[in-house]
Amino acid sequence: MPRPRGLLRVRPHPVTFVTFGPSRHAPIPIGHPTGHPRHFATSSGDNERVPLHPARRIAVAFLLVTSTAVLASLPLDDSSSSSSNNNNNNNNTKAAMSSKLVPPNPDEVMVIRDITPNVVTFSVPFLRFGRVPIGGRGTLVRLTSGSLAVFSPVALTDAARAKVASLGGDVRYLIASDVEHHIFLSEWARAYPDAKLIGPEGLPEKRRKVAAAGDDPRIGAEPFAVVATRESATGLSVDDEFDRDFAVEYVHAHPNRELVFLYRPEKVLIQADLLFNLPAVEQYSRVPEDQKPRPGLIANMFSRMQSTSGDATGMKRFMWHVISRGNRAAFNESVARIAQWDFDTIIPCHGETVIGGGKELFERVFEWHLEAEQGKGTKM
């Protein structure tokens, strides 16, 4: 029998239990392994078979409920606050300008790293909500044609400009990988005016609003050459040159409307907010020790939920209950299509780059979604 899925399920005394996964079956009593009256687990995953100590149940439930309530109501980047809800020019809007979100000295703290012969990352510090150190990262790719593509651009520093020049300097594509990672598009577009702008639906309108309101001098109203829509989710085409090297999945079910790219020649997955990999070590590696942020309780809780270490249970719960809750079926379909791609490396915008084993990590983090997609049509 199907049964509702939820964050917290409470039965009358003496049995209280919590399930956090895509449960397919009724709870299964598993005896008295720790001396508590009864423990329950579901059969949908190993993580759910492990009975939680009552205090731990409460802590986990609190964490998840809190994160759901708070995070689901907020975009995944502070950057959006600089560019959304700009119908008024009140002080709050002004206070959220992107100048508050980017490091004042990007050239001093940016890490430029050759990931493969044709893929380079630009990593910088970035505080989400002004408190959580998640870092930021742009990615530069040299296509087999020799032209260049930039994904989720960060500040165009002198060193970044020199790196672009060392790879030929012919920037043809500037990509906002979702509706949040767009702040530096205008800066790069001015420097490389022949580049096509690419982004998800809604972003051009969002930027035009900000530009018209004059709320953020960084954000202009440049036209987009290619805009991903639901209709093009599985077949987004930029042009022959780009399409030769890249597969694209538009994860429109993600709250931030993620564009995920596979650079086929070097098996590199490039994405923004679909998959975090905290802590952001590289992105803070050039920040002087005494200037590094000291995360508090909430920041630590969030970082734990955005870590891929171990069985990534916190991240799985976050993905399942928070990120994909709006349209889980479409989210599952997108994730399943990405899982069919051939990649070893994952470049996230937040946290550590994964070099080697990227496919296995992806399958582990999205295990519940992949299982749900595979189980379509079967009794849940």
- Interface residues with Fe ion (CB under 5 A) are 77, 273, 349
The CB-of-290 to Fe ion minimum distance in angstroms stands at: 27
The CB-of-76 to Fe ion minimum distance in angstroms stands at: 5
Between residues 322 and 349, which has the closer beta carbon with respect to Fe ion? 349
The CB-of-177 to Fe ion minimum distance in angstroms stands at: 8
Q: Which residues of 257-288 are buried (b: 16+ CB within 10 A; e: fewer)?
A: bbbbbbbebbebbbbbbbbbbbbbebbbeebe
Between residues 120 and 274, which has the closer beta carbon with respect to Fe ion? 274
The CB-of-274 to Fe ion minimum distance in angstroms stands at: 10
DSSP per-residue letters across 322-379: IITTTSHHHHHHHHHHHHTS--SEEE-SSB--EES-HHHHHHHHTHHHHHHHHTTTS-
Between residues 52 and 102, which has the closer beta carbon with respect to Fe ion? 102
Between residues 154 and 233, which has the closer beta carbon with respect to Fe ion? 154
Cα–Cα distance between 283 and 134 in angstroms, integer? Answer: 8
For residue 196, the SS3 value is strand
Between residues 142 and 206, which has the closer beta carbon with respect to Fe ion? 206
Between residues 21 and 136, which has the closer beta carbon with respect to Fe ion? 136
Sheet containing strand 196-200, strands side by side: 111-116, 119-124, 136-142, 148-151, 171-175, 196-200, 226-228
Between residues 215 and 273, which has the closer beta carbon with respect to Fe ion? 273
Token reading at 209:
């609003």
The CB-of-4 to Fe ion minimum distance in angstroms stands at: 31
Cα–Cα distance between 332 and 317 in angstroms, integer? Answer: 14
The CB-of-94 to Fe ion minimum distance in angstroms stands at: 22
Between residues 142 and 218, which has the closer beta carbon with respect to Fe ion? 218
Within 10 angstroms of residue 295's Cβ, the number of other Cβ atoms is 16
CB 337 within 8 A of CB 343: no
Cα 120 to Cα 116, 137, 265, distances in angstroms: 7, 10, 14
The CB-of-190 to Fe ion minimum distance in angstroms stands at: 23
CB 152 within 8 A of CB 272: yes
Nearest to 182 by CA among 84, 62, 325: 84
Backbone angles phi, psi at 346, to 5 degrees: -125, 125
The CB-of-157 to Fe ion minimum distance in angstroms stands at: 19
